[in-house]
Structure 1
C-alpha cells in the first residue's frame, strides 16, 4: 500500500505547523545522531528517500555532495522543497519509495529519515537500495523505534492524576500494520522488531556499521524541561550500513 496523507489539505496544514517543518533539522531531536552516522559527503552522489521538504538534500549539498536526488510521494512536499531550493545539483522526483528503480550503482550514499515505518515491504526497499548503491556505498536511515511502534496507540500509560507512569510495550513480536493516530488522522504504520530490521539489512547484502537509539541532547533537555520523559524510552532507531 502506498499511503500519501500529505497531499490532504488539512493534514498538510497541520504538518506544516510542526516545529521540524518550520525550523528544519535544528528542530529534529534525532538530527545530531543522524548527522553523526553520515559519511563524508564531499563529491558524493546522494539519494534521499522520502525527502519531504528537502532539508537533508540541501544539507548534503552544503557538505559539497556532487549531486542529490530527493524522492517523495507527496506533491505538496515537493512543491515546498523546490520553493526552498536554488541549486541545479538537487533534483526532486515525485516517486513512492516502493517504486524506486534507479540505475545499478548510481549513488554513493542513500539516506532516509522517518519514512520506512510507512512502508510495508522493507525487504524489497533494501534490495533496491543495495542495487543502486556503489560497492562500499553507505545507507543511513531512521525509523520510529520498534518499542514505539509495537502498540498502535503510541502513548504513555497514565496514572489517576494524569501522570505518565510508563510506556507500554505489547504485541512486540506481532509484526505488521498498526492503525496509528497522527495529527488527528488515521495513519497506517508498519511494526517490525529490531531483529527484523537488522536481519533484512544483512540478508540484502549490507554490513551494519552503527546503530543509534538517540534521546534528547543536553541542550534540548535544558531548553525544554518536559523533554525529560523522552529519556525513558527510545523513540527513534537509526542505522548506518555499508553495501558489501
Structure 2
C-alpha cells in the first residue's frame, strides 16, 4: 500500500478532512457498511488498512474478542494508538500486499478505502480467504470502478457547459495517477468483474454488493452522490 500518508504535508491535509476529525459519523458510506457487518461480539477482527483506527474502536466497543489493525503508514498508526486504543486492540505495521496470518486466524476481516491501493487483488483475496475461519466474513469498501476508471477522479465540463463524470479506459486495468489533497497519488483501477471474480476465485461466497449514496443529509449537501458512484462495498463469506 502507498506510503503517501507518511508525507508530512499530505498527512496534515488529510487530518483536516471531516472523516479524519469526526470519524465514522462523517463517512458517507458508513451506514451501508455498518448494516452489512455481522455481530462482532466475541469475534476476532482484522482491519486491513486501519488508518486512524475508527473501525477498530467500533469493533472493540461492540465486544470483539480481539481487534488487529494493520497499516503501512507510521503516521496513521501513531494516530490510531494515540486516540483509538482500547483493551483488545492491537496495531501493527504491515504491507497489505504481503500481510498474512495462519489459516483461520480471524472471524471477520474488514477494510475501508484501502484496496484501491493494491495492484494484485486476486492475491489479497486468497490471503483473506485463508486467514478467515470457516463461517467468517469479509467486508470491504473501495473506490468504485466507475470512479477510478478515467483516472483524474474529477468532474469535467462539456463544450455545452454540462458537468459530467468521465468514464474512460474502463477495461484498461492498472495504475492511475490522481490528484488527492493537492498531491499526486497512485491508485489501481480494477473492473467490477475482476473484483468480484477475484472474491469468488478465492473461495468466498459473495453475499452482498452495495453502492453507497450517503444519508439523506449527505445527499442534500452533496447532490453529486446521486449522479455517479464513488464507492463500492463487497461482502463475502467463507462457507
Q: TM-score range by the shorter chain?
A: over 0.9
- Contact conserved, 2:158 with 2:164, CA < 8 A, in 1? no
Aligned counterpart in structure 2 of residue 239 of structure 1, from 220, 234, 239:
234
Q: Distance in 2 between matches of 1:164 and 1:110?
A: 41
Q: Distance in 2 between matches of 1:26 and 1:164?
A: 32
Are 1:78 and 2:73 counterparts?
Answer: no
Q: Distance in 2 between matches of 1:84 and 1:95?
A: 20
Unaligned 5+ runs, structure 1? none
| Segments ≥4 residues shifted beyond 3 Å | none
Q: Distance in 2 between matches of 1:199 and 1:51?
A: 25
1:85-96 counterparts in 2 under 5 A?
Answer: 85-96=84-95
Q: Distance in 2 between matches of 1:164 and 1:152?
A: 20
SS of aligned partner of 2:5: coil
SS of aligned partner of 2:136: strand
- Contact conserved, 2:207 with 2:237, CA < 8 A, in 1? yes
1:23-102 counterparts in 2 under 5 A?
Answer: 23-102=22-101
Q: Distance in 1 between matches of 2:40 and 2:139?
A: 12
Aligned counterpart in structure 2 of residue 187 of structure 1, from 175, 179, 185:
185
Are 1:108 and 2:107 counterparts?
Answer: yes
Deviates more, 1:144-153 or 1:2-11: 2-11
Q: Cα deviation per residue 1:184-205 (whole Å; 9 max; x = unaligned)?
A: 1111111001111100000000
Report the alpha carbon displacement of residue 217 of structure 1 after superposing the two structures with TM: 1.3
Aligned to 1:131: 130
Q: Distance in 2 between matches of 1:159 and 1:43?
A: 53
Deviates more, 1:82-91 or 1:25-34: 82-91
SS of aligned partner of 2:6: coil
- Contact conserved, 1:156 with 1:164, CA < 8 A, in 2? no
Unaligned 5+ runs, structure 2? none
Normalization by structure 1: what TM-score? Answer: 0.95
Are 1:220 and 2:215 counterparts?
Answer: no
Deviates more, 1:163-172 or 1:83-92: 163-172
Count of residue correspondences: 239
Aligned to 1:207: 205
Q: Distance in 2 between matches of 1:146 and 1:95?
A: 25
Q: Distance in 2 between matches of 1:159 and 1:218?
A: 28
Normalization by structure 2: what TM-score? Answer: 0.97
Report the alpha carbon displacement of residue 216 of structure 1 after superposing the two structures with TM: 2.3
